[in-house]
Amino acid sequence: MNYIKTDIEGPLIIEPRVFGDHRGYFFESFSLRDFVAHVGPVDFVQDNESYSAKRGVLRGLHFQKGEAAQAKLLRVVRGSVLDVAVDIRPGSPTYGKYVSTVLSGENKRQFFIPRGFAHGFLVLEDDTIFQYKCDNFYAPEAEGSYRWNDPTLAIDWGISPDEVILSEKDSRAPFFEQKSE
């Protein structure tokens, strides 16, 4: 696998080696030995899957606070998403900055986001399946979020706001300046 650094220290884009022929393809989607050698020890304890029926579904920006913070390893099985990580680590030189990448069933890329980041994704194709590993269990009492279209964060989602499909909860998320972390 190829581990690619981003403009922010911590998040990494991971490109697998894909072996294809007339039958289809094969690739190793996760190797603990390889991951630890490039990222360090991370003990994933939970796998999650999200299905989005329509292009324009936007989930996020979510995070967990304190001891419940989560590192995530994300990938798309079918379809595609614009995946976004926002640095919310106090004192970080890139605090409030974001990195993004397109993950798809076609490019088979993965995105590693360490603890201390808010995470969100925009579905770019109908019938998208998104999977991710977490290194901490979900704790609803530690959940936090920021508004997807926060002007301070100024994330370029590449979509018109009237095309975005949000949950009620995400549409009411606080703005970044309200510092809910």
**Active site (catalytic) residues:** 62, 132
**Structure tokens of 106?**
């076609």
Q: How far apart, in whole angstroms, are the C-alpha atoms of residue 150 and residue 155?
A: 8
Cβ–Cβ < 8 Å for 113, 74: yes
- Tell me how far CA of residue 81 lies from CA of 3, 31, 55, 59, 175, in angstroms: 19, 23, 9, 10, 23
